[in-house]
């Protein structure tokens, strides 16, 4: 699309924009591939070793737990040394120390935390070449000023501060040259990790889940699609008193230019904000995620602390829309049916709802009483007027689901492939709110944002006298 600058039309593309010889940031692909490729082989070796230990009299449960711990340890160690696709998948796990099983302590927490904001920095000359390769040799004419030093890092690129030719201060997101090929190659290798994940969750359709997750992560390479989602969110939340989504100024190939958001990052507020501010921020984050369907029709899939900012006027700034997706078909029927079973049904109704919506592989036995007990903390979220989430709460829930013991009921279940984006978003949401240490009303916010749950909760309230009526939404002040 041509743009006008200094009285003349300058094409966004030139011959140089299609030149594949632009210098690339070094990517040691053979080394990266070798590390990932060794994971399945190492897992197989541990299985063989386990068979030998059984001959020596060790119990199957003890051996299985040992294999799980050492396999998880190896996975986390390798992810901690890689970038690109492994780094992006690591962000799903790397809610700092919050998401690790209890037996995988400090070394792996350190490795995973390094996956956040640790991409390599491009030299100014490479930044200039990359801009020219994507926007043409005359790319500088679109900017009054352009800071060649990166302002922020991302898993697949970096952000620069600049001033657009009309005076708008902008954030220029530039994908690392060569990262697309490296990331796609890593994702192909990560698919080979499905058998190892199956050790921890033997009843899950792990292959389908990992394929869906890899496809979902791979879509984040498409800046044109990201621009589409960001425009939809910017329009849906325009002039909102609680939120700011920066407008897209321009997008060409592997460059995405948006309005600059001058605000305090949530990562800093997690360390410094008083409790009242934490509660407001938590309510805003929860409200943004739960209202995205009615405002845009899309799921905001990346609600981790690095994507939120607090503006001076108290609004929540939201960035990075590469992980958005349409809501899965039947999502609200699912939330209605499972919510109805949890709040107003019994074990038989919950068993039926979980099987109907694909959370149990056909033929798999299910300890429904244990499942009911494991989801009790989440049930409490929807019947309490307000709940306080913190690190201890999150660690307890994660450990109960990922503890490497054969009796863990989570091992009896799976996640349908179409629900991978929403599952990832919920995990990140719980992690962000827990890191913030905030008190929020899931009952009011989620029920108001997700159709079908209001009538479920209303029926529950009619059956009980201990729960107050659902209040009308109030401003998160």
Summarised one tens digit per residue, pLDDT across range 298-318 is: 999 999 888 999 999 999 999
453 domain-assigned:
yes
**Do 215 and 338 share a structural domain?**
no
38 domain-assigned:
yes
139 domain-assigned:
no
86: closest CA among 160, 192, 1, 162? 192
**Do 342 and 279 share a structural domain?**
yes
**Do 353 and 204 share a structural domain?**
no
**Do 267 and 201 share a structural domain?**
no
DSSP structural state of residue 23: -
What pLDDT band is residue 53 in, cutting at 50, 70 and 90?
Answer: very low
The answer on pLDDT for 179 being more than 70 is: yes
255 domain-assigned:
no
Lowest-confidence segment of 128-132, 427-431, 452-456 by average pLDDT: 452-456
Residue 402 has what pLDDT? Answer: 64
The answer on pLDDT for 102 being more than 50 is: no
125 domain-assigned:
no
312 domain-assigned:
yes
Range of the domain at 303: 263-477
331 domain-assigned:
yes
Q: Is 14 exposed, middle or buried (0-12, 13-18, 19+ CB in 10 A)?
A: middle
What pLDDT band is residue 156 in, cutting at 50, 70 and 90?
Answer: confident
Place of tokens 């709460």: 393
**Do 331 and 207 share a structural domain?**
no
Go through 364-394 and write b for each residue having 16 or more CB atoms within 10 A of its CB, e for each that does not. Answer: eebebeebbebbeeeeebbbeeebebebebb
The answer on pLDDT for 165 being more than 70 is: yes
**Do 279 and 187 share a structural domain?**
no
Helix locations, 241-346, DSSP H: 266-272, 275-296, 331-344
- State pLDDT tens for residues 404-417: 554 567 678 888 88
Greatest mean pLDDT among 24-38, 70-84, 135-149 = 135-149
* Residues sharing a CB contact under 8 Å with residue 137, sequence separation 6 or more, in sequence order: 14, 16
**Do 401 and 293 share a structural domain?**
yes
**Do 299 and 188 share a structural domain?**
no
137 domain-assigned:
no
């Amino acid at each position: 699309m041509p743009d006008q600058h200094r009285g003349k039309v300058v094409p966004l593309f030139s011959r140089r924009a299609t030149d594949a010889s632009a210098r690339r940031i070094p990517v040691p692909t053979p080394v990266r591939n070798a590390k990932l490729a060794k994971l399945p082989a190492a897992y197989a070796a541990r299985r063989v070793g386990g068979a030998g230990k059984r001959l020596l009299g060790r119990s199957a449960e003890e051996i299985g737990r040992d294999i799980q711990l050492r396999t998880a340890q190896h996975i986390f160690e390798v992810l901690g040394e890689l970038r690109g696709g492994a780094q992006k998948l690591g962000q799903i796990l790397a809610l700092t120390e919050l998401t690790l099983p209890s037996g995988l302590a400090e070394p792996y927490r350190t490795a995973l935390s390094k996956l956040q904001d640790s991409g390599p920095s491009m030299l100014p000359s490479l930044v200039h070449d990359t801009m020219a390769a994507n926007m043409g040799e005359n790319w500088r004419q679109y900017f009054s000023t352009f800071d060649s030093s990166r302002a922020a890092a991302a898993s697949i690129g970096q952000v620069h501060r600049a001033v657009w030719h009309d005076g708008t201060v902008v954030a220029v997101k530039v994908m690392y040259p060569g990262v697309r090929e490296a990331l796609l190659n890593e994702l192909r290798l990560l698919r080979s990790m499905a058998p190892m994940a199956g050790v921890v969750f033997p009843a899950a359709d792990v292959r389908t889940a990992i394929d869906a997750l890899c496809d979902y992560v791979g879509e984040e390479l498409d800046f044109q699609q990201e621009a589409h989602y960001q425009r939809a969110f910017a329009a849906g939340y325009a002039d909102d008193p609680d939120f700011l989504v920066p407008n897209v100024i321009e997008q060409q190939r592997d460059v995405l230019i948006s309005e600059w958001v001058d605000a305090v990052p949530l990562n800093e507020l997690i360390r410094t904000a008083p409790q009242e501010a934490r509660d407001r921020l938590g309510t805003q984050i929860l409200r943004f995620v739960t209202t995205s369907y009615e405002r845009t029709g899309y799921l905001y899939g990346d609600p981790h602390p690095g994507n939120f900012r607090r503006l001076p006027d108290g609004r929540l700034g939201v960035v990075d829309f590469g992980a958005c997706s349409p809501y899965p078909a039947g999502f609200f029927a699912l939330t209605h049916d499972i919510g109805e079973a949890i709040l107003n049904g019994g074990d038989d109704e919950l068993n039926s709802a979980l099987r109907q919506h694909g959370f149990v592989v056909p033929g798999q036995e299910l300890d429904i009483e244990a499942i009911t007990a494991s989801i009790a903390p989440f049930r409490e979220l929807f019947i309490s007027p307000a709940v306080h989430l913190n690190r201890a709460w999150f660690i307890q829930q994660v450990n109960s689901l990922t503890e490497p013991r054969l009796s863990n009921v989570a091992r009896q279940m799976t996640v349908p492939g179409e629900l991978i984006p929403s599952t990832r978003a919920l995990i990140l949401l719980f992690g962000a709110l827990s890191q913030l240490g905030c008190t929020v009303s899931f009952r009011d916010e989620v029920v108001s944002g997700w159709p079908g749950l209001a009538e479920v909760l209303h029926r529950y309230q009619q059956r009980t006298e201990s729960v107050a009526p659902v209040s009308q939404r109030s401003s998160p002040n």
